[in-house]
């Protein structure tokens, strides 16, 4: 509804609501190139389900720091724009 057609970086820091926000993303319409979120507040089951979901969408996941996970697309060929 806002006319957004591409998201290069989706960075979440929502203290326990990261999974809820990611579940609300319409990955059929917009697929961020890179997603960074906190997993500290997730149960092991929730983390496992989220990892499987993102991998199923073609993301490669890397743990970053103590509580962050970075997911990036393997098929992205364009440049990432930084504002």
Strand partners, 11: 36
Contact 12, 40 (CB under 8 A): no
Q: Tell if the pTM clears 0.85, that is, is over it.
A: no
Burial 22-46 (b: 16+ CB within 10 A, else e): beeeeeeeebbbbbbbbbeebeeee
pLDDT digits (tens, 9 = 90+) for 4-54: 778 899 999 888 888 899 999 999 988 999 999 999 999 999 999 999 999
Alpha-carbon 39 to chain mean position: 11
Alpha-carbon 29 to chain mean position: 14
Q: What is the pLDDT of residue 69?
A: 93
Which helix H or strand E contains 48, and what residues bound it?
helix 44-56
Confidence of residue 65 (pLDDT cuts 50, 70, 90): confident
């Amino acid at each position: 509804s806002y006319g957004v057609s591409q998201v290069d970086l989706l960075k979440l820091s929502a203290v326990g609501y990261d999974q809820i926000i990611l579940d609300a993303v319409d990955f059929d319409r917009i697929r961020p190139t890179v997603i960074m979120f906190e997993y500290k507040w997730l149960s092991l089951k929730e983390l496992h389900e989220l990892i499987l979901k993102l991998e199923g969408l073609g993301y490669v996941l890397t743990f970053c720091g103590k509580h962050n996970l970075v997911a990036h697309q393997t098929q992205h060929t364009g440049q990432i724009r930084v504002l």
